[in-house]
Amino acid sequence: MARQKGVIKLQGQMGGVSFYKSQQDGFLAREKGGVDAERIKNDPSFERTRENGAEFGRAGAAGKLLRTALRALLINIADSRMTSRLTREMVKVIQADATNTRGQRNVIDGETELLKGFEFNLDGKLESTFFAQFTPTIDRAAGNLTVDVPAYIPGNMIGAPQGATHVKLISAGAEIDFEAGAYVVANSSTPEIVLGPQNEAPVSLANAVTPASTHPLFLALGVEFYQQVNGVFYPLKNGFYNALALVKVDGGV
């Protein structure tokens, strides 16, 4: 892969070279090539490639399902590489499957707990934005996924970007059936909170899913920033600074 230089930027194919634009890296060029697809599908020497491809495909599908379940919160977050990062972490989950053979490993028999701490926005990480103590709890029997935040001072405990006047604490609890491609999700949030020196009362963000579910459960916590102008709350810079992370994961039974 090479970066295009010069005044005229190309897109398309020419002489075996593909020219394209990357959102992150600008105009790039790479030589077209690779092994014939039929050979990869049938040649015994590419068995490892087929196994890796199958597991990568499962990782991509699992990541998409989780993103879809959390879409109501992710729609306000800007990170163009989040999808690829989540797929990479899902690959690690699948590779932790100690039950099935290579090529047959999957998310269900892997270790979804490895996703705990995943940050959906590297430009606004929860760990470097929200400094107040909180306790994430998953009660599988009752189907309750809860984040409890004790009293805190927003101006001291939240790293707000310039221009923000208010913040919301947001949360989601998701029950994911990776085999069926289905999910149950519940969301909760606080009202807009002034980013000031006041002492905020304790808050409990509760999300209810199916009681006694056997599927993996995911609990997310995040913050959304706003600017108040004439009584109207405006999201700040299209979610660039908003944070969301998986704070607790229960892999199922």
**Which pairing describes strands 217-229 and 232-235: parallel, antiparallel, or unpaired?**
antiparallel
Judged by average pLDDT, the poorest of 12-16, 19-23, 216-220, 249-253 is 12-16
Q: Are residues 6 and 119 in the same domain?
A: no
pLDDT recorded at residue 137:
98
Number of structural domains (the chain) is 2
147 Cβ contact list (under 8 Å, min separation 6): 134, 135, 136, 137, 169, 171, 204, 205, 219, 221, 247
Q: Are residues 90 and 23 in the same domain?
A: no
Q: Are residues 163 and 96 in the same domain?
A: yes
Q: Find the mean pLDDT for residues 211-230.
A: 97
Q: Are residues 13 and 54 in the same domain?
A: no
Q: Find the mean pLDDT for residues 174-197.
A: 97
Q: Does the pLDDT value for residue 236 go beyond 90?
A: no
Q: Are residues 63 and 15 in the same domain?
A: no
Q: Are residues 153 and 127 in the same domain?
A: yes
pLDDT recorded at residue 25:
66
Judged by average pLDDT, the poorest of 9-23, 150-164, 200-214 is 9-23
Q: Are residues 148 and 107 in the same domain?
A: yes
Give the domain range for residue 57. Answer: 37-250
pLDDT recorded at residue 14:
54
Q: Are residues 13 and 133 in the same domain?
A: no
Q: Find the mean pLDDT for residues 83-103.
A: 92
